[in-house]
Amino acid sequence: MMFKIDPPKIPHSAWKRPIGKGWEKPYTVRYQSNLDDGPWHGMPLGGFGAGCIGRSSKGDFNLWHLDAGEHIFKSLPVCQFSVFEQQEGETPLVYAMSTEPPEDGSLSRWRWYPQAKGTYHALYPRSWFSYEGVFKSQLYCEQFSPIWPDNYQETSYPVAIFEWTAHNPTDRPITLSIMLTWQNIVGWFTNAIASPEVTVRDDGSPEYPYQPRWGDSTGNLNQWIQDNFRVGFLFSRVQLRDEIQEGEGQIAIASITNPSIEAFHLGRWNPHSDGADVWDYFAMDGSLPDKEDETPAGPGEQIAAAMAIRFTVRPGKTRKIPFIISWDFPITEFAKDIRYFRRYTDFFGRNGKNAWSVIRTALKNVDVWQEKIQKWQNPILERSDLSANFKMALFNELYLLTDGGTIWTSATENDPVGQFGVLECFDYRWYESLDVRLYGSFALAMLWPRLDKAVLEAFARAIPTVDNTPRIIGYNQASAIRKAFGATPHDLGAPNEHPWEKTNYTSYQDCNLWKDLSSDFVLQVYRDFLLSGSQDTDFLWECWSAITQTLAYLKHFDRDNDSIPENGGAPDQTFDDWELKGISAYCGALWIAALEAAVKIGEILRDNPPKNPTLKLKNDPDAIAEYISTYKSYLEQARPLYQDKLWNGEYYRLDSESNSDVVMADQLCGQFYTQLLNLPDVVDRPLVASTLEKIYDACFLKFHNGKYGAANGVKPDGSPEKPDATHPLEVWTGINFGLAAFMLQTGMKEEAFKITEAVIKQVYENGLQFRTPEAITTDGQFRASHYLRAMAIWSIYYVLTEA
């Protein structure tokens, strides 16, 4: 008699891929200097700012973001699960659960799982392997980390949970053994170049060399741990100094044992061998020789360990076995001697010896963590008005909060949840680019608002700073200072310097000249105040002096004193290869929206004096009325001027001086924000509708029949103004999601989701999953993978929930 059981509840909307199935023609990178690892990216595992690891849909571990801000994509075949299965009297089936053997010929004794025998599913922060057509057992592996909204503790943990489920559908018992092998990689994840030299790449962006200590295992040792019902290995390194350094710490792998489960181990073996020391035991009966060896690795030596959990599943029954991988690398070092503790050390200590404490916590709470994730996701997944594709991308685009070189420091009195940052991307390796996060920060603002406010407070502190260091600008080779007083910085710095303290790392353009950053800052501050309940006036007070300073700075670019700053001809906004001249639709609308937000913020603060003495010292409440009056006077002149200079009867012209008829997709971003924040409109609503209809027609429908998404800017017939243009002819994922949210606001629901679905399809059908790029081109290329702006998909969900 056959028995049936439902598999784990894998959501229908999870992204799916046959295990080990490749891509015939994955999209490739546009510029050879940019990052292109190929399509084998799976959902990353690990907490925000803790570092993360990744396991691809072929089953190998290949992503190692354990040094904050640095990217390593390289398969380590020894880091692997293997499965033994046998029914009495029959030949066992034994496989390492990756579809691809090592390229270097090592582990030649091992047998690798066949391709396309099952399905990989991903719905961040959970992913699953469903193995089919090989074993008699029904086998599943669910992978996740404890990440859910409004959680500022577990979301930081350096841990990955792998819950194996085995069901016996036959009429005879099945013996199974699950083995986890792991290489001791402690000490590999820090830059061997003490003071890397910054150079300028061929695309004009600054970069620096990163040389991890990959393979440097001297002094590494493996310790077998038996801790009540917990068993596993602790991987560490002989520590030569009392004070822990970056890259030092521990990794642990663990599972459980009880009277019905057997645990086996092998404490030390050579991962570059044929693997017989491990495989011959395991393939025979699912066991290991139970040998311990804590001898540290010698120079040039590599060591690994193996553990196996063997159990029997009776007919019709199901067993679940958890495996946990944790790590504890408490220090992030940026420039030499600039060190921060990671956020999770607030809960586990800072000596680098807490990987096993993380294991204990995980095994105790794994069920609770799963429930909290499901409680968050299920209401969205159960919505019948949202497509499966949209729900899939909505969650999966959050991957970047784990994967994006994320930093999250321990708490201080000034920063009670720590300081936070996500890279713009790994090609543009600097944190929290403000123009990009205008759309890209919606996810953080909605789900972890205290972290988003921490980012904006860091910008507020940076606005009054000055850095007169001269630099050569990549775009035109001009010389410019790094940071001017009152200018809103473009970014919060880079991993090789001192984030939060040394801002404006990028030097492709002189961002002191940009005409969108000041407005972007003001709008995000007011947005976060509203999204977090409209009560946190202390947050507004923290940002108020910076708001007044940066609006005054931007007003200085108003050449003719008509109350709208002019663009200067060189690209001076987020589309930094696209020249705008005079009053521009894009920057002008953002300026008007920011003035309205500043007026509203001023009125709120006028009625809510600061209670905190420090905030009283930093601000002059008596001056608020004057600022409100000034901003209102600018608005009185700016709004009609904007309309008169730019409206052409169908849409808003690109700018007032270039005589271009290009339809810019993001021209009314400022209007989107005023509608979002319930501020007075930049332009009249009928003109908004006309403009969006024109954008939809020209930039989407007439641009390759809507296959790729909306182009940034084309002529009204969908053709390019300049065939060799870069940014105008790219489809920017985040801009498209922001545009869709704007259309949704305006009642264009069908059009909004056609654009959204087109972009989702481009990403998830062409090998770009979990490395979503900034830009896609019509010839199957992309630019700037792992990009921050794509989290703008959450702006669509916000508009849906607020409608």
Q: Which residues, in sequence order, are bridge partners of residue 157? A: none
Rounded Cα distance between 639 and 240, Å, is: 66
Rounded Cα distance between 683 and 668, Å, is: 9
Q: How confident is the model at residue 201 (pLDDT cuts 50, 70, 90)?
A: confident
Sign of the CA dihedral with 130 first, then 133, 138, and 139 last: negative
What tokens does 99 get?
A: 């579809």
Rounded Cα distance between 759 and 789, Å, is: 13
- Predicted local confidence at residue 611, as pLDDT: 81
Q: Which residues, in sequence order, are bridge partners of residue 713? A: 664
- Predicted local confidence at residue 803, as pLDDT: 66
Decide: pTM greater than 0.85.
yes
Alpha helices in 608-720 (DSSP H): 613-618, 624-646, 669-676, 685-695
Question: Cβ distance 310 to 176 under 8 Å?
Answer: yes
Q: How confident is the model at residue 37 (pLDDT cuts 50, 70, 90)?
A: very high
Question: Cβ distance 408 to 402 under 8 Å?
Answer: no
Helix axis angle for 388-396 and 355-381, nearest 10°, is 150
In the predicted model, what is the mean pLDDT of residues 258-263? 96
Rounded Cα distance between 508 and 115, Å, is: 44
205 pLDDT above the threshold of 90: no
Rounded Cα distance between 741 and 800, Å, is: 8
Q: Which residue has 């057992």 as its token pair?
A: 137
pLDDT tens for 87-107 read 988 999 999 999 999 999 999
pLDDT tens for 218-254 read 999 999 999 999 999 999 999 878 889 999 999 999 9
565 pLDDT above the threshold of 90: yes
End-to-end CA distance of the chain: 53
pLDDT tens for 587-600 read 999 999 999 999 99
- Predicted local confidence at residue 247, as pLDDT: 95
5 pLDDT above the threshold of 70: no
Question: Cβ distance 390 to 756 under 8 Å?
Answer: yes
Rounded Cα distance between 448 and 452, Å, is: 7
Q: How confident is the model at residue 3 (pLDDT cuts 50, 70, 90)?
A: very low
Rounded Cα distance between 622 and 640, Å, is: 30
What tokens does 315 get?
A: 């007919």
Rounded Cα distance between 480 and 471, Å, is: 5
- Predicted local confidence at residue 617, as pLDDT: 67
203 pLDDT above the threshold of 90: no
Distances (CA, A) of 726 to 18, 214, 349, 443, 730: 35, 37, 49, 28, 7
In the predicted model, what is the mean pLDDT of residues 725-737? 97
* Percent of the chain surpassing pLDDT 70: 99
Rounded Cα distance between 277 and 294, Å, is: 17
Which residue from 407, 398, 260, 401 is spatially nearest to 344, judged by alpha carbons? 407
Rounded Cα distance between 344 and 721, Å, is: 51
Q: If you average pLDDT over every residue of the chain, what do you get?
A: 96
Alpha helices in 8-82 (DSSP H): none
- Predicted local confidence at residue 1, as pLDDT: 30
Rounded Cα distance between 611 and 389, Å, is: 47
CA 473, 474, 476, 479: dihedral to nearest 10 degrees? 20
pLDDT tens for 146-188 read 999 999 999 999 999 999 999 999 999 999 999 999 999 999 9
| Burial grade of 556 (CB within 10 A; 0-12, 13-18, 19 or more) | exposed
- Predicted local confidence at residue 6, as pLDDT: 55
CA 612, 613, 614, 616: dihedral to nearest 10 degrees? 90
Alpha helices in 404-448 (DSSP H): 434-440, 442-447
Q: What are phi and psi of 302, to 5 degrees?
A: -115, 140
Q: How confident is the model at residue 2 (pLDDT cuts 50, 70, 90)?
A: very low
* Percent of the chain surpassing pLDDT 90: 93
